[in-house]
């Protein structure tokens, strides 16, 4: 699709060259095998790996509640998040969980998503970040992404610290 003089590329399974199907793109292989049934998990092994990591970082109670409350409308989103965010990305060996938490705190703060930020502040604490570490991430966000994003992020983090007694 061409828009405003720039080509837009829509990422779809068929747009990923076959040469990239190897070990670098296991999701492509799984998507290629996808059953057309609505809501089916694409790769059960990666989903289960993601569920293990997600529960370890965010807490079993939170994840179990999210999965139990999933319905026909939002279940595919829960499955997508678990498989790709947690299984494919968080499950990669290139970065440890502490580093991934730092990156997530910065990105989610920049996007000004306080609900998700609160969940990831809890996860960051689980992954070994301290209150001081989190403050430094949020100060960096304030300068590079804007003070309003920083202020909202500090507010959300403070709510979590108060809730957890940190």
CATH number at residue 133: 1.20.1290.10
Question: Same structural domain for residues 100 and 160?
Answer: yes
pTM: 0.73
| pLDDT tens digit at each of 166 positions of the chain | 444 554 443 344 444 444 433 444 444 444 434 433 455 667 889 999 999 999 999 999 999 999 999 999 999 999 999 999 999 999 999 999 999 999 999 999 999 999 999 999 999 999 999 999 999 999 999 999 999 999 999 999 999 999 999 9
Q: Is 125 a domain residue?
A: yes
- Let me know whether 48 and 89 are in one domain: yes
Domain presence at residue 15: no
Whose structure tokens read 């306080």?
Answer: 114
Q: How far is CA 45 from CA 50, 88, 102, 165, in A?
A: 9, 10, 27, 37
- The two three-digit tokens of residue 113, written as one number: 């998503």
Looking at residue 19, its pLDDT comes to 40
For residue 157 the two structure tokens come to 């983090």
Residue 52 lies in a domain: yes
Provide the pLDDT for residue 39: 54
**Residue-level pLDDT at 64:** 94
For residue 75, the model assigns a pLDDT of 93
DSSP label of 128: T
Instruction: Tell me if 39 sits within 8 A of 72, measured CB to CB.
Output: yes
pLDDT value for 42: 72
DSSP structure class, residue 6: E
Tally of domains in the chain: 2
Residue 90: both structure tokens together: 């968080």
Q: According to the model, what pLDDT value does residue 35 have?
A: 38
Please tell me the predicted confidence (pLDDT) of residue 41. Answer: 65
């Amino acid at each position: 699709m061409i828009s405003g003089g720039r080509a837009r590329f829509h990422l779809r399974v068929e747009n990923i060259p076959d040469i990239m199907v190897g070990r670098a793109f296991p999701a492509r292989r799984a998507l290629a095998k996808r059953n057309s049934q609505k809501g089916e998990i694409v790769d059960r092994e990666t989903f289960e790996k993601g569920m293990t990591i997600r529960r370890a970082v965010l807490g079993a109670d939170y994840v179990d509640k999210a999965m139990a409350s999933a319905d026909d409308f939002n279940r595919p989103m829960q499955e997508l998040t678990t498989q790709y965010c947690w299984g494919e990305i968080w499950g990669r060996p290139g970065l440890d969980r502490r580093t991934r938490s730092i990156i997530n705190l910065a990105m989610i703060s920049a996007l000004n998503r306080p609900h998700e930020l609160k969940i990831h502040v809890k996860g960051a604490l689980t992954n070994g970040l301290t209150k001081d570490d989190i403050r430094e991430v949020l100060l960096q966000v304030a300068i590079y992404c804007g003070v309003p994003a920083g202020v909202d992020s500090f507010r959300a983090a403070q709510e979590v610290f108060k809730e957890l007694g940190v």
